[in-house]
Amino acid sequence: MGRLTGKVALITGATGGIGLATAELFAREQARLVVTDIDERGIETLAARLRAEGADVLGIALDVSSAEQWARVVESTRQRFGGLDILINVAGVVDWSGVEDTGQQAWDRVIAVNQTGTWLAMKTAMPLLRASGAASIVNTSSVLGIVGSGAAAAYHASKGAVRLLTKTAAVEYATRGVRVNSVHPGVIATPMIQDILDEQGDQQPDIVRTPMRRAGLPSEIAHAMLFLASDESSYVTGAELIVDGGLTAH
Catalytic residue among 7, 155, 184, 228: 155
Give all strands (DSSP E) within 90-144, no chain letters.
Answer: 135-140
- Residue 14 Cα to chain centre, angstroms: 9
Residue 234 buriedness (CB in 10 A; 0-12 / 13-18 / 19+): exposed
Residues of the chain with pLDDT under 50: none
Considering the entire predicted model, what is its pTM? 0.95
Q: What is the pLDDT of residue 195?
A: 67
Structural domain boundaries in the chain: 8-241
Residue 188 CA to residue 218 CA, distance in Å, equals 6
Residue 209 CA to residue 77 CA, distance in Å, equals 42
pLDDT digits (tens, 9 = 90+) for 195-241: 666 665 555 556 657 899 888 999 999 999 999 999 999 999 999 99
Question: Which residues are registered as beta bridge partners of 185?
Answer: 243
Neighbours of 168 (CB within 10 A): 11
Q: Which CATH superfamily is domain 8-241 in?
A: NAD(P)-binding Rossmann-like Domain (3.40.50.720)
142 three-state secondary structure:
coil
Residues 37 and 15 sit within 8 Å (Cβ to Cβ): yes
Is 155 designated active site?
Answer: yes
Q: What is the pLDDT of residue 245?
A: 95
Phi, psi values for residue 129, rounded to 5°: -65, -40
Q: What is the pLDDT of residue 1?
A: 76
Q: What is the pLDDT of residue 45?
A: 98
